[in-house]
Every structure is written in C-alpha cells, then in structure tokens.
A and B are shown apart, each in its own frame.
Chain A
C-alpha cells in the first residue's frame, strides 16, 4: 500500500466528499429518524417526549423480553453457523477449483451461478426442495426410503433454524468463495512448488502459505456475511418459525402492529441489531488497525 504518497487534504476531501455526503445525508438521515423514533418520538400519535423506555422494555419487560433474548440467541446462532459453514465450504471449493487444471473457468462460473438470485427466491427454492413434502422428500419416497412426508426430517420451518442456515450458506458461500478464489489466483505457484519440494504436505502447504494469504479477505468477507445475515429478515421470515424468531422478523412484526406505539420498540430493536453488527465490524477494524501497527 502506497501510504507514503503525498496527497493534499483538499484532494482527499474532493475524492471522498461525494460518497460521504450521500451516505451521511441519505443513510444518516434515515437512521437518525429511526433512532429518534426508538426514543419515543412519534408526533403522529402525539408522542414527543424522549426516553429509553423502549430499550428497557425490550430487555426487561415481560411482554417483550422473552421474545428479545430468545431472538438474540437465535439470530446469533444462525449468523455464526451460516458464516462459519459458508467460509469453510468457500475455502474448500475455491481450493478445489484452483487446483482443477481443466475447465476451471466452467467450475468457477457454476460457483457464482446463484449470485444474482435474490434471497427471497433462494428461500422459496429451499422450500420447494427441502420441505417434508418437497422434491428431495419425493425423491427419497421414490427410492423407498420414506413413505410419508412425516418420515422425512424437518429441515425448513424448524425450531433450530436449520433451513435458514442452509439457505444462507447456499447464497453466501459463493460470495465468499469468489473473493477467496480471486486471491488464490494471485498465489505464486512456484512458492507452493518449492514448499512441496521441501517436503511440506498438503495440510502444511495450506496452513503456512495459503491460509495467511487468504486470511484477510476471508475474514472481512465473513464478517460482512455475519453482519448481513444478522440484520436481514427475508429468509428468516419465510423459512423460520414463530418461536424462536430472528430479531429482524420481530422488528418487522412490531413495526406493522396495529398499535402504532409498538413502532418505538420496533425501531429500538433495529438500533440494537445495528449495535451488534457495528460492534462486530468495528471491533474487527480496530483490531486490524492494531495488528497493522504492530506488524
């Protein structure tokens, strides 16, 4: 990184200004509104006093707290599992494609095939395939392994979020994989060959050469996946159940509640979700800054 390059702060401002202005105006304005609403600001129904009541309610009030805490654990579980699985699979597949001499272009395309597929479509596709009366179950029935839908395991709309995780992995694994694959392509093959000649086995080559190379990209793309899955509602809304329920789905329910007062809690929940994802990303940025200063 050419950090030593001299650039005037005026030039810097010029480069960054359009993006910053747009983001602060649009995103900042929108988010500020949500924060305000979460503090109780709802002039439409005559509420103008600010307080932290909604946050308190979510965390401690009997009406909300069970849904909140169970949702928090559920969302954390789903995001962590989805991210870990996606990352591991992405690395494995990227390595496989990288080593495939023949037709790596074809494999690499099949790998990215579902990038344009929106999350809602992914969720519906999973339903088509994995519900107890879905295609896979009909397949096992044809093979004589099951006779009724009830014989087939519960994979979607289940209480453990398995369906949600599968859908997220299906969608996010290529996202991480494409990034890792891009880094792999810059790998100097002669370095690996030299290592092999020196007697390093596959695992050692991976551990000491490949992994350090892909680690930064892998880590940051995984964090993006974690943050995204934690805050998204489409897949959990379609593939999840009433209880336990992912936090973003609860937020939407509260927002659409006929009692407009619930919007305060809905926004408070959205802000809390943002806090979690910001802590994760911010924490990473901070740690990376320290690591860079040390290394």
Chain B
C-alpha cells in the first residue's frame, strides 16, 4: 500500500513538473530573447548576448519609465474604486434574492463578455464630449468597465457563503453601522478583498484598447508601448518590454499568493 502510494506520488510530481515547465516555457523564451542578438534558426542557444534593449529602455530618454508610472497610477486608482463600488453590489447579489436579480446579474456581467471594440469607440466619443478624454482620470474611469464585473463576481461569491450572524450579534451589542462594517464585515472578507483587488489591478494593468482610445495618445501606458513595439517586430525590444510589463504584476501575484488558494476565489465561479 505504501509502495503504491510512493509510486503514484512520484508520477504525480512528475506530471506537475512537466505541466509547470509547459506553463513557464514561453516566459523563459521571453527572458532569452530579451538578451539575445541575431538569434536565428537552428540555434537553440543564443550566440550573441547583448544588453542593448535594456540600455535603450532604461535610458532617460526612453518613455518606458514614464509609461510604467502611468500604468501604476491608473491601476492604483482603479483598484480601490472598483473595490468600493463592487463590494456593496456583490453583497447585494450574494446575500439576497429579489425580483429582477438575474437581470441585474446579467447587466453587471455584460461588460466582461462583450468584445472591447463594441464598447470602446462609443465610450471614447462620449468621453471626448464630456472632456474626460486625454487624461489619466478619464482613463481610470473607463477602466472600471472591464474591471467591475470581476470584482462584483468575486464579492458576490464571498457573500454567498457569508453568515450574517456576526454582524447581527455586533449590532445587538449596540455597535453602530460603520463600526460593524469596519470591525466585523471587512476583516471577515479580507481574503476576498485581496483577490478582488488583485484581479482589478491585473485587468487595469493590461488594458490596451481603452487606454489608447480614451487616452487619445496623451496617456502612454506600458501596454501601449508594448503593442507599438510588437508591430515593429524587433524581438529584443518586445521581450524586454514584455518582461518589464509582466514583472510588477507577477510581484503582486507573489505577494497575494497565499490568499488566492483560499475559498475566496471560488466566488468567481458563482455567477
């Protein structure tokens, strides 16, 4: 019995290693391309190494650092806003049933399943009319469109498994509403807040079409540069920029990794 356990455990580990390699492989390819010059078929290993892409990207004239600043600013503003708006909506959908609930769910989910082109152009024209285009504020507001469905979904899942008794007890003991929220509700759903925040950040971080159209070219973020470079076909530049783009998001993932393994994320499945 123990022997069979050991052999299946071994097989399991092997499978997991293989799958991890498959998942990581493209990123390794990027890492190599970011330092490789003239790397053509059939060479498996780059024969010329270079730091020129990094020198170019990190030089003071480069717009990469400014773009990263913009990306951080916008994602940094979108995340708390999405949490603030998504939490109450998710609470309503997760805790209660009411007439028209399915319609509300559908409406709030719609932005996540509609192709970006169908929304972005109209949004851009409206924002231009309202003076919201061409600045990071307008772009941040626009980012809420793809971000909100996911935060609402996550919170709805959290509150689905949430018991109101703690809040009721606190209120019975005489606590005011804001105290109940601050000392009871929020700590209880903290993992969910972290996950929802992570998704909000990631989605805002990787927005391209919205930022392009609403930003009017005045708001340059990392995806804008990346798409531009991708059109140019220089693998060195593309790989270096892709790494610079993915690294902060990956870091954030690392930091919140613990919490992603909990029930919090099952909320995503609770439509």
Binding site for B on A (CB under 8 A): 1-3, 5, 7, 9, 12, 14-16, 18-20, 22-24, 26-27, 29-34, 37, 93, 96-97, 99-101, 105, 107-122, 124-126, 128-129, 133, 135, 137-139, 141-142, 149, 170, 174, 178-183, 185-186, 216-221, 223-224, 227-228, 231-234, 238, 248, 251-252, 255, 266-267, 270-271, 273-274, 277-278, 281-282, 284-286, 288-289
Contacts and interface: CB of A to CB of B under 8 A. Distances in A.
B124 to A, nearest CB: 8
Contact of B96 (A3, A137, A183, A216): A3
Given A2-B164, A7-B96, A23-B110, A128 B29 contact: yes
B24 A113 contact: yes
Given A22-B148, A120-B226, A179 B118 contact: no
Given A23-B111, A26-B142, A34 B118 contact: yes
Contact of A281 (B113, B123, B144, B148): B113
Interface centre among A125, A228, A251 (most CB of B within 10 A): A125
Contacts of A182: 260-266
Given A27-B145, A216-B270, A270-B117, A19 B25 contact: no
B160 interface: yes
Interface string B59-94: 000000000000000000000000011101101111
B126 interface: yes
Contact of B107 (A24, A115, A180): A24
Contacts of B227: 120
A114 B23 contact: yes
B202 A115 contact: yes
Given A116-B249, A179-B266, A122 B26 contact: yes
Contacts of B51: none
A220 B160 CA distance: 15
A110 B230 contact: no
Contacts of B104: 16, 20
Contacts of A126: 26
| Closest CB pairs A-B (n = 10) | A217-B269, A33-B122, A125-B26, A116-B249, A231-B115, A30-B122, A227-B113, A30-B123, A19-B89, A270-B118
Contact of A18 (B88, B111, B163, B242): B88
Interface in B173-213: 202, 205-206, 208
A220 B125 CA distance: 33
Given A33-B125, A113-B253, A117-B26, 13 more contacts: A15-B91, A19-B86, A20-B104, A20-B108, A22-B145, A128-B33, A128-B235, A149-B41, A182-B262, A231-B116, A248-B115, A277-B113, A285-B271
Interface residues of B, number: 97
B58 interface: no
Contacts of A3: 96-97
Given A19-B85, A29-B122, A185-B262, A112 B145 contact: no
Contacts, number: 298
B107 A233 contact: no
A219 B55 CA distance: 47
Contacts of A34: 117-119, 121-122
Interface string B242-264: 10011001101110011011111
A274 B213 CA distance: 20
Chain B contact surface mostly: helix
Interface of B: 9, 12-13, 15-16, 19-20, 22-27, 29-30, 33, 40-44, 84-86, 88-89, 91-98, 102, 104-123, 125-126, 141-142, 144-145, 148, 152, 160, 163-164, 202, 205-206, 208, 223, 226-227, 230, 235, 238, 242, 245-246, 249-250, 252-254, 257-258, 260-266, 268-271
A118 B43 CA distance: 28
A48 B242 CA distance: 44
A24 to B, nearest CB: 7
Contacts of A23: 107-108, 110-111, 145, 148
A180 B145 CA distance: 26
B117 A233 contact: yes
Contacts of B206: 116, 118-119
A15 B163 CA distance: 18
Contact of B106 (A9, A12, A37, A281): A281
Nearest to B163: A2
21 contacts: A5-B164, A19-B89, A30-B126, A93-B19, A105-B258, A116-B253, A133-B41, A170-B26, A179-B268, A181-B261, A182-B262, A182-B265, A217-B266, A220-B271, A228-B113, A238-B230, A271-B118, A273-B115, A274-B114, A282-B106, A284-B271
Contact of A277 (B85, B114, B122, B265): B114
Contacts of B245: 118, 121
A18 B85 contact: yes
